[in-house]
Amino acid sequence: MRLRDKKAIVTGASRGIGRAIALAFAREGADVLVNYLSRDEEARRTQREIQACGRSALLFKGDVSDSSQVKAMVEMALTEWGRIDILVNNAGITHIATPFETTEEDWDRVLRVNLKSAFLCSRAVLDTMVKQGGGRIINISSVVAKSGGIAGPTYASSKAGLIGLTKSFAHHLAPYHILVNAIAPALIDTEMLRWRTEEQWKETIASTPLKRLGDPMDLAEAAVFLASNGGNYITGATIDVNGGLYMD
C-alpha cells in the first residue's frame, strides 16, 4: 500500500474525479475526509466505499470557497486524526460561455470556487504540515489552462491560475518538505462534461491521439503517484493526463 495510514482531504469528492481519487487513496491505505457541497447520498456512498477498504472516512459538507468552513473542515480532520498528510484541491465548476457572454458575476463565481478555494484550503493546512515535517498538496487544473479551448475564459483562467498557485506554493514550501503539484486532465468522462454535444464528443475523440476519453481512474492513479514515495522529488510540476490532446 503506497499510502498506508496517510491522512487525506479531498475536496469535491462525492462524485467524478474527486470520488475516484478518494477511493484510490483508500485502496492504497489512506484515511480520507470527503468534502462536498451537495449530493448527500453520493457522498455517503463514497464514504461507505472508503470504509469497505478498511479505512476511516469523514464527511464534511461545506463550501471550500468560504474561509470559516475551510477552517472547520481542517479542524475536523485534525480532531479525528491529529495530522493531515495530503490535500487534493479538486472542487470546481465549469462555465461555458464566450468572452462576449461572460458576466462579472460569472467571473467572480468561477474564480471563487475553482481558484480561491484552493488557496484557502492550502493555506489552512500549512501550519499542520510544517509542524509534522511535510505533506503533499495536489491541485486539479485542466488542459484548457494551457490550450484555452471552448470552456470559456472564466474556467480557463481559473485553471491557469491553479498552475501559478502550484508553482508559487511549491517554491515557498520546499524548505518545509511540503511538495505541491498540479494535474492537468483533458476530457475525463464525468458528469461535468454532459453539456457537450455528440458532435463535439466525436471531434474531441478524433483529435485525441489515444482516441478515447479519460477515465477518472486515469487521473486518480496520477494523484496516488504524486502523493506516494514515487513523487518524493517532484514539486512545482504539472502532470498532463490528457491522452496526448495537448503537448507542450
How far apart, in whole angstroms, are the C-alpha atoms of residue 183 and residue 45? 25
3-class DSSP assignment, residue 196: coil
Q: If you search the block for the grid coordinates 464566450, which residue do you land on?
A: 98
Greatest Cα-to-Cα distance within the chain, rounded to the nearest angstrom: 52
How far apart, in whole angstroms, are the C-alpha atoms of residue 26 and residue 221? 12
Query: Going by C-beta distance under 8 Å and a sequence separation of 6 or more, which residues neighbour residue 180?
Result: 122, 136, 137, 138, 139, 166, 169, 170, 173, 235, 236
How far apart, in whole angstroms, are the C-alpha atoms of residue 35 and residue 13? 6
Asked whether the beta carbons of 122 and 87 are under 8 A apart, the reply is yes
Give the other-Cβ count within 10 Å of 83's Cβ.
16
Active site residues: 155
Judged on CB neighbours under 10 Å (0-12, 13-18, 19+), 145 is buried
